[in-house]
Amino acid sequence: MDPVDAKVAWLAVLKHDRQFDGHFVYAVSSTRIYCRPSCPSRRPARHRVSFFPSAQQAETAGFRACLRCQPQSDQGSLHEQRIEQARQYLEKHPGETVTLRRLADQVGLSPFHLQRAFQRSLGLSPKAYQDATRIERFTALLKCGESVTNATYEAGYGSSSRVAERVTNTLGMTPSSYRSGGNGVTLRYTTVGTLVGRMLIAKTERGVVSVSLGHNEDDLVALLRKEYPQALLSHDPKGMKPEAQALLQCLNGERLSNAIPFDLQGTAFQRNVWKALRDIPRGSTRTYREIACEIGQPTAARAVARATATNPLAVAIPCHRVVRGDGHLAGYRWGLKNKKRLLALEQERQED
C-alpha cells in the first residue's frame, strides 16, 4: 500500500473527512488507540499522532481499534465499494466522456485518491477502463450485426478514425474485418498431438495469434472458425513446423524460443499480466495476488484473474501455473483436466 502523506492525512483528520476512510488510520500514542479519519472523538495533539496505511499495520505496531468508530471493521470493504461504484458508473455511461472529477464526486472520493485506488484495484486508470469498456461495447455491437458507423457512435467514439486506430491495435485487424468475422484475414494453422491432447496453433502475418488445447482437431478448428467466421483458414502443417516444434519443445521442458513471433491482441494491462505469467518458473505456481504484486499492482488480483482467463496462447503463456489463494486450482479455459495434466507433467520434468 502507498505510504501516507502526513500533511494531507492530518488535514483529513481535522475535518473528520469521510472520503479518506479506508485510505489510512491514525493512531494516538497516549491512548494506544487507532481511529479512522472521520471518527467523531475529540482530536488529539498533532505530536501524539502517527499514520498507518492499514488497520493491520497499526495493530502490528501495538495499537488497538477504537470502539467508537471501529476502523478495523470495514476499511477494505469501504474502499472496494467505492471502486465498484465507480466501475459501474463508467459502464452505465459508455457514450459519455466521464471526467475524473465527475467520477470522484459520484463516489465521494477526491480525484487524486480515486485515481490511485482505481488503478490499484483494477489495474487500469478510470480513463483506460472506460476506453476498454468502449472497445468491448464496440466489438459486441459489431458481432450483433451493427454497421461500423452505428457501432462507433453507440459505443461513444467521436470519430471513425479514433475507433479504427484503437481497435486495430487491440484486435490486430480493422473494425470492418472484425465485423465480418475476420474477412480479409488469412489464418494459417496446424494441429499436433501432445501428452495432454491435441494442440492447435494459428497465426496471422504478424505472428502466432492462438494456441488452444482440446480432444480432437475438428473441435479445435471449429472453435477457431467460431472466433473468426469469415477469415480464410489455411491448414499449413509444413509452413508452421517451426512454431509447432517450438511449442512441443516448450511442453518437454525447454524454454520457448524468442524467434517465434506472437500477435498478441490485448490491453496494456493484459500484456503486463501475460508477460508476468511467462516469467513463472516451470514446475512452480503463483496466486493471482502474487502476480498482481509482481506487476506492481498488489490490489489488482481480480483484474489479474480476468486477464489470465483471456489468455489466447495456451502453453506459450503458461496461465495454467496460476492458482487460487488457497492453493486450489482455479478455472482453465481449455479445461481443468488439462490444467492438472500440464502441472503434473511439469512437476515430473522437474523431478527427473
> Which grid coordinates belong to 230?
469469415
Rounded CA separation 192/241 (Å): 10
Decide the pairing of beta strands 322-323 and 286-287: parallel
Contacts 24+ apart (CB under 8 A), 45-51: 46/10, 49/10, 49/13, 50/26, 51/4, 51/6, 51/9, 51/10, 51/24, 51/25, 51/26, 51/27
Are the beta carbons of 184 and 204 closer than 8 angstroms? no
Rounded CA separation 37/156 (Å): 39
Q: Which of 66, 69, 250, 319 is catalytic?
A: 319
Q: Is 66 a catalytic residue?
A: no
Rounded CA separation 342/318 (Å): 9
Rounded CA separation 254/106 (Å): 52
Cα–Cα distances in angstroms (integers) from residue 38 to residues 21, 50, 141, 143, 245, in the given order: 7, 15, 45, 49, 62
Q: Is 35 a catalytic residue?
A: yes
Are the beta carbons of 209 and 265 closer than 8 angstroms? yes
Location of C-alpha cell 527427473:
352
Q: Which of 35, 66, 69, 250 is catalytic?
A: 35
**Interior CA angle at 94 toward 266 and 170, to 5°?**
15
Catalytic residues: 35, 319
